[in-house]
Every structure is written in structure tokens, then in C-alpha cells.
Amino acid sequence: MEELIAQLKELGFTEYEAKAYTALVQHSHVNAYQVSKNSGIPRARVYDILTGLVDKGIVLKEETAEQTIYAALPVAVFLQQMQQRWQASFTSIGIKLAKLESKEQEVEHKVVMLKGKEAIVNYCQSLLQNAKQKVLLSMWEDMYEALYEDIQEAEQRVPIHGITFYVENPIATLEQHRMTRYTQKPSTPHWFIISVDGQQMIYGHVPSTQEIAFITTDPVHIYLLEDYIWHDVLVNRLIKRDDQALEEWITKERQAFFLD
């Protein structure tokens, strides 16, 4: 019951309002005294609470010569009513926020930090869902799995190119990165890059290991990281065409360059 009261409070009800309604759902067509007794609401407050719920259309009120009787709005009707109110508020908030966002004049492009696993995944999903022209990406299997359905849906609308690490059966237009000593090391970080329409980008470590990512509309950032993805794809394709000696040479050159 405590969880239900908490959920009703999230819909905008006070604790007493939530307790009064749930008490009436359990024992309907009762007077205020019985509502107070069943809900634990003080008698001094229960009349005001019930009056407020009647005004909101959540509680039904029947006055007779002897007493006033209260009944809960049927649950199915209540849920439909709450859904309609929530949808109306959600739509209104969305319109108003979009207007505010459109008024913001960005003097310079910025890179901003996004924290939290759920927030990062949700932002990636939003970018993929809103892609209009193309998607370029680079990601390991854990992030690919989290975005699998969104990537497949986006593929139906726009071209998707890039490279994946240890992903089984990625979509046909994505390169599968070769296995190397570097990628097989347990300490190697799993990163991801998603660039949409050449206008928006999110990149960082996968949220399961580090719940921080970076969002940017800066054209320099986008150009450099998209070019990074292309070079990774190109090198991967070249090595597949050559022999093992080239792979070993690249490994040594990488170690020397990064002082590994």
C-alpha cells in the first residue's frame, strides 16, 4: 500500500488525498467518519480532503437528509482520467520547452557533460530516433546491445556506417573490428561514438563502466571524431586484405607511439 500511495503522490496527489481515494476504493459508499477511520486521516482534515477530491472529480458525493456519503470514482475511469490529464500536461510542457529551446541563441558551440547510465542510453536513443540523413557510429558490443532495436529502426530510414567491436551479426553496413592484442586486453576501455546528420554527437565510455558521456554540436569535434571512425574502418579493411605481418607491425608502431 505504501508503494501505491507513493505512486499516486507522483501523479500530483497529496498523501492524504491518496490515502482517502485508496480507502474509498476498498470501502466505498461510506461517510467521512468511516473514511477517516479506514485511511488514518485525522477527522479534522478528512472533510477538507474529501471536498478537494470531489472538486477534482476523483470522489463522488451523495447528500441525503441523514448524512453525506462518499464513493470512489471507478478505477477504470480514474486511470483514463489521469492518463488524459498526464498526456495533456506532457504535450503542453513539450510545446513550451521547445519554444524556449528555439529562442536560445548559441553564441558558440559547446561540449557538455551528461551523467548517469539511463540518461546516456536515453540520449543515444533520441539521437538515433531523430536521425534524418545519416548515422556514423563506433561502439563495443555492450553499448550495441543496449541500442540494438534503435539502430535497427534507424537503419530503415537512414544510412548507418561505422565500426563495431565484438558484436555478433551487426547490421550489414557496419564494419566488424578485427581482434587485436589491444582490443583483447581486459584493461582496454570500451568507448562509443554516435554522430547524427553531421550535426549532433555523443561520445564517451560505455555507461556500465563509467557513467559519463559528452554531447556536442561543435563542428570541429564532429569532424575529427567522424574522421577517426573512417580511419578505423579504413585501416580495418586494409589489414583484412593483407597478411599477419602488417598486423604485428601496426601493434609495434602503436606501442611506440603511445609509449605502451
- With a cut of 80, say whether residue 165 has pLDDT above it: yes
Tell me whether residue 200 is in a domain: yes
242 and 157 within one domain: yes
∠ CA 132-134-135, nearest 5°, is 115
Number of domains in the chain: 2
- With a cut of 80, say whether residue 248 has pLDDT above it: no
What pLDDT was estimated at residue 198?
A: 92
152 vs 64 pLDDT, higher one:
152
148 and 235 within one domain: yes
Among 3-12, 37-46, 146-155, 215-224, which is the least confidently predicted range? Answer: 3-12
**Nearest residue to 213 via CA among 200, 229, 230, 232:** 200
- With a cut of 60, say whether residue 104 has pLDDT above it: no
What pLDDT was estimated at residue 46?
A: 92
Residue where the block lists cell 498526464 = 86
What pLDDT was estimated at residue 108?
A: 59
What is the crossing angle of helices 15-26 and 43-55, to 10°? 80
- With a cut of 60, say whether residue 119 has pLDDT above it: yes
Q: Given CA atoms 176, 182, 186, 190 in this order, what sign does their dihedral have?
A: negative
- With a cut of 90, say whether residue 127 has pLDDT above it: yes
Mean pLDDT across 76-86: 85
Percent of the chain surpassing pLDDT 90? 36
Domain boundary among 18, 50, 73: 73
Tell me whether residue 90 is in a domain: no
Residue where the block lists cell 539511463 = 118
- With a cut of 70, say whether residue 79 has pLDDT above it: yes
Q: What are phi and psi of 177, to 5 degrees?
A: -65, 140
Among 47-61, 78-92, 118-132, 231-245, which is the least confidently predicted range? Answer: 231-245
Mean pLDDT across 191-195: 94
Mean pLDDT across 201-211: 84
207 and 153 within one domain: yes
210 vs 112 pLDDT, higher one:
112
- With a cut of 70, say whether residue 230 has pLDDT above it: yes
Reported confidence tier of residue 258, pLDDT bands at 50, 70, 90? low
Tell me whether residue 87 is in a domain: no
Q: What are phi and psi of 101, to 5 degrees?
A: -65, -40
Domain boundary among 46, 73, 100: 73
Segments forming the whole domain that contains residue 173 = 111-258
Q: Do the beta carbons of residue 29 and residue 71 sit within 8 Å?
A: yes
Per DSSP bridges, beta strands 200-205 and 191-196 are: antiparallel
What pLDDT was estimated at residue 197?
A: 94
Reported confidence tier of residue 83, pLDDT bands at 50, 70, 90? confident
